[in-house]
Amino acid sequence: MAVKDFFSMMEKLQGMFDSDDVEVITNDGQSVRGRIDNLRSTQPFSKPAVKITGSDGKITKILFADIKDVIDHRKK
């Protein structure tokens, strides 16, 4: 399910904070998988973004505008 608007994106990502296995797919086809480290949405002069910490410890920042889809792979 692709998420287009800001509020839908915030709600979806906030619901995944307790998951260690979130995958973010960007508009250009890249995929980043890991744990949501930070959501940046209200700071002045910054664009809304999410930071994902991968299993290797690398932190990747992805702007909301670049996100095509978000998948929660946690075992339920």
DSSP 62: E
Domain CATH number, residue 36: 2.30.30.100
pTM: 0.82
* 10 falls within a domain: yes
Is the CB of residue 13 less than 8 Å from the CB of residue 39?
yes
Per-residue pLDDT of the chain (76 residues; tens, 9 = 90+): 445 577 888 888 888 988 999 999 999 999 999 999 888 765 667 788 899 999 999 999 999 889 999 999 987 6
Print the domain residue range for 60: 6-72
* 1 falls within a domain: no
State residue 23's pLDDT score: 96
